[in-house]
Amino acid sequence: MTPKIIDIHPHIISGDTVRYPHAPLGGKRSDWSEERPFPVEQYLIEMQAAGVSQAAMVHSSTTYGHDNSYCADSVVAYPDRLVGIYSFDIGAPDAVATIEAHRARGMAGLRLFGAGSTVQTDGAWMIAPETRAVWDHMAQIGMTVAIQTTSIGMDTVERILQTYPDVTVILDHLGRPDLTDGAPYAKAARLWSMARYPNLYHKITPRTFDLSEKAPATPQSFFAKLVAEYGADRLAWGSNFPANNGSLLDLVTQGHRCFADLSDADRAMIWAGTAEKLYPQLLAPSMPQAAQ
């Protein structure tokens, strides 16, 4: 059975630096964004070749900072294929108004960038008192918040899950767990312990596939345990394209290989079902306002 596939973690970068100037978070662009800039038109071609039907396009914070213009303009241009996951300064006095304005431009989710290849913070700013209005608003409107972090930010993530249990949170790259010891993956203890938070979801990307295929780990042992701990309905696939090497088809093929031992129902949920739950705009695409 060929499942429906939705990509919830692609990135795009325009070649037009006049209309879309670079202003990376932390002042330094990620290596991939400089090496492999990829406009939306090329991504749509990759989608067709890979059998990906829709995407939740993730704004590139390491290229544009908090300026979501290119991602939003692209979502507006292709509302039947794309929704947007945008980033803002959630401590700004007008943050809630900014989110509401972008909901009219295809915004389906919020993303917070705490730590990654170019920025390393514990993310404590995410839960500062001035951010409460945004978290309360996310709970009110039922909008998913994606968090990009590494192990240094997991204490903050747990505080968010505890403080705002009505907000759905999805972690990019599963929070980058350590799988180097193989099954039963004791070094990934934080990943397993956090399954107790029902509002926590995880984004499976090629970064996870690569780790799961590096001995002594195996995809068969890791993904079986991941589904057993969280349930497939709290797991969703994202390509991390073009940050990961290879075509979108290559990354989808890797996913099919890593998910091969899962049931048809679990694969269908991870490839698309959970994405539709996290971003219901995918089920009934709106017609966002055209760029002015």
Confidence of residue 291 (pLDDT cuts 50, 70, 90): very low
Question: Residue 119: which of 203, 205, 30, 204 has the closest Cα?
Answer: 30
Q: Which domains does the chain have, with CATH numbers?
A: 6-282 (3.20.20.140)
Say whether pLDDT at 212 is over 90.
yes
pLDDT given at position 286: 56
State CA 198 to chain mean position distance: 18
How far the first Cα of the chain sits from its last, in Å, is 43
What does each C-alpha distance from 136 to 57, 87, 141, 238, 242 come to in angstroms? 24, 17, 9, 27, 33
**Sign of torsion, CA 292 242 50 191?**
negative
pLDDT tens digit sequence for 236-249: 999 999 988 899 99
The DSSP H or E segment spanning 85 is strand 82-86
> For a pLDDT cut of 90, what percent of the chain falls above it?
84
Say whether pLDDT at 170 is over 60.
yes
- The three-class DSSP label of residue 260 is coil
pLDDT tens digit sequence for 110-155: 999 887 666 677 889 999 999 999 999 999 999 999 999 989 999 9
Half-sphere exposure of 181 (CA within 13 A, CB side): 9
Mean pLDDT for 184-191 is 97
CB neighbour list of residue 55: distance below 8 Å, 6 or more residues apart: 6, 7, 8, 10, 43, 47, 81, 82, 83
The CB density around residue 254, as the number of other CB atoms within 10 Å, is: 19
Amino acid in position 202: H
Mean pLDDT for 215-242 is 97
Say whether pLDDT at 158 is over 90.
yes
- The three-class DSSP label of residue 216 is coil
pLDDT tens digit sequence for 195-207: 999 999 999 999 9
**Per-residue tokens: 239:** 């390509």
pLDDT given at position 292: 35
What does each C-alpha distance from 214 to 116, 183, 218, 222, 229 come to in angstroms? 21, 12, 7, 11, 21
Half-sphere exposure of 54 (CA within 13 A, CB side): 23
